[in-house]
Structures are given as C-alpha cells and as structure tokens.
Amino acid sequence: MPPKRAAATKRKAVSPPDDDPTPSESEQQSPSEHEESDKPVAKKRKTGSSAKGKAAPKAAESTKGKGKGTSSAAAAAAKAEAGRQPTNKVLPVHIAFAPKAAEGTVRIAAWNICGLAAAQKKGFKYYVEAEDPDVLILTETKVNNDPVDPALTQRFPYRYWSISDKKTYSGTAILSKVEPISVDYTLPGHPDPKSVKGRIVTLEFASCYLVGTYVVNAGTGLKTLDEKKVWNAHFEAYIRELDKKKPVIWAGDLNVAPTEIDLANPKTNWNKTPGYTEAETSSFARILNTSGKEADAGKFVDVWRDKHPGLRHYTYFSYRFNCREKGLGWRLDMFVVSERMAARVQMCEIRSEIYGASDHCPVVLELEGPL
C-alpha cells in the first residue's frame, strides 16, 4: 500500500498584489537585479575580447543520456518535461505532503517568506500546518518584535528571532519543537555586529549545530559586494570552527547560486548580478571544500544538489516579468551539511508548488535520528 498522506489543508487561493507597497530586501536588491537580467537581452557582435575574471563555476557533467538518434532525443525531451517546476502564482488550494520517512526522523524546513506580515495574508499558515516541520527556519521575516502568531507559538515552544535594528528589514528565525542546548545570534569576529543582527541564528543540539542565515546581499550594481566579502570571510571561519566540534547543518537563504545550473541565465549574470559573482561562488566552494584544497578544514555537502545533480530547479522567482511562468529563477535557498552527516539525510526537496505567499519556495530536509 502506498503510504498515507498527511492531512490536507484547504483554503481559498489568494493572489499576490501587483504592486507590493513594501517590497522585500531581496526585491530591492538581489532579485531586482535578477529581474533585469531575466529580460530578453539583445545579441551583441562578438569582438574577440572576453570578460575579466575566472569563468563561471560549472556543475559536474553527467555521463548519462548521451545516446544518439530520435528515440534518445524524445527521451531527453520527456525527461526535461517531467523535470519542469510548477508555474502556479498563488498557493494551491489543497496542500498535502507525505509523512516523514520513518519514526524518529527530524523534518527541517527553510523558507524566505519575504515579510511575515505579508506572507500571513497569502496563506503562510496553511503551508506550516501541512508541512508540520520539527524545525522551521524563516528568513527575511522583516519583523520588529517577536511575533505572537498562534500558528507559530502553539506549534513551536522554542522560538528564536534575530531582528535587525533597521525596521522591517531582513530578519532570521529558527522555531523548534526540540529544545536546543544553546543559542547564539552573532558572527564571531565580524567588525560590524549591528549589521549581523537579523542575519544569523545558531542553535546547538546534542548531535549537531543548526545555523540559519539570511546571507548579506551584494546589492544593486554590486554596491555592497565588499560587505558581502567581509561576511563571507568571517562565516567561512565560523562554520569551520563549529564543524570541528560537531557536525553542522547550515540552511536558509544563502544568497548565492553556486554553479551555472543554479540560475536560468548564467551567462548574462556572471560577475554582474548579486548572487552570481566570482567572489560569492568561490566562497561557497571553499566552504564545500569538495577538492580538499582547504587544508585543515572539513568538507560540506550541498544536499539538494547532491541528490539532484543535473536538475535545474529554483527556489526564487521574481513576481515581475512573468518569471514564474517562464521558469526564470535562481536556487538561492538550500541546506548544506557536514560531509560526515550527509549519510543521515533521508530526503531533501524544494517545495516547488508552495509559491505565492512569498517569491521564494521552501526547502525541506529530513534527518535520520535526533538533533
């Protein structure tokens, strides 16, 4: 028998407003740049010159599906069609997910909600009810005080909100059914602690650290790329120090598309658009340390990409330019875990149909055993 599905949640569909009076930070910075880059670009004549800097990072090539002929082409087309993400612009009326894979499994969800107040008006609670995660990481909350939403307070007894000093700006939270050993809201060594507020929450559990981040955006025209570099330098050191003590789960809106298959238009965005520059992708690659070049540093795994090596699915689609329908997106939200912890991961998926309450889709991970 197929496994029973979780209780469904039904509701009326609510469309996002055409003109959001309080656009998110990502709408003002990174996605606004993404939106511009997703517009049709006029072709230019080749001049023989090339862009400065290193080439864009490429994903590992697959050795499958290289057969010739009409049948292989048809199979490839069918596979591509099957791999397409939904194009809905509002949350589904009916939301249901399969139950956890096994008893004792921990389900963790991460979601950039583009403002809690706005998301609550567009069906936020229906997703939370259907997913029913053990831990919920929220980014870009834009709250000014600890919320008292019953949908959250009754479900999660342990709630930790990192709130920016700047009103209705950034914001990161981890809400948990499991009590942590300790909580930290800082990024050690960062020269501007105020800028870190609203960006990071670290919970220590018996078996691991859980780090939720809303990583700094490189800004329109890359005007804050230097600030991003400072963040990255200190975060690289921080996550490695944590990893020396216990395995680490790092999740949230990481504000980077790691390789060329993690965004729809890599060529037109490389070294021009926040989230896809040499500085940002190199920092992420150093954390993964797949090649082992970073001496005395552990290795990490980009979990969703590890489980879906060739799939071009995204977690962010701008509300503008009909990007959702066109499939013009970026994979910015993810789970990264210490390599020695990767075997405990039972599942990692993008909830592609959960779109409309935010311009981001949630990502969910299931972990074998307790936190």
Catalytic residues: 214, 253
> What 8-state DSSP symbol labels residue 22?
S
Q: What is the DSSP string of 279-307?
A: HHHHHHHHHH-TT--STT---EEEHHHHH
Q: Are 197 and 164 in contact (CB under 8 A)?
A: yes
Cα distance between residue 106 and residue 144, in whole Å: 30
E strand segments, the chain? 9-10, 94-95, 106-112, 135-139, 158-162, 172-176, 182-184, 200-204, 209-214, 248-253, 300-302, 333-338, 345-350, 363-367
Cα distance between residue 208 and residue 370, in whole Å: 9
Cα distance between residue 136 and residue 132, in whole Å: 9
Q: Are 270 and 257 in contact (CB under 8 A)?
A: no
Close Cβ partners of 33 (under 8 Å, ≥ 6 residues apart):
220, 221, 272, 273, 274, 275
What are the respective helix, strand and coil percentages of the chain, to the nearest 5? 30, 20, 50
β-pairing, 200-204 with 182-184? Answer: antiparallel
Q: Are 182 and 211 in contact (CB under 8 A)?
A: no
Q: Are 224 and 216 in contact (CB under 8 A)?
A: yes
Beta carbons within 10 angstroms of residue 100's beta carbon: 18
End-to-end Cα spacing for the chain: 30
Q: Are 242 and 209 in contact (CB under 8 A)?
A: yes
Torsion of CA 150, 153, 159, 164, to 10 degrees: 20
Strand arrangement, sheet containing 182-184: 182-184, 200-204, 209-214, 248-253, 333-338, 300-302
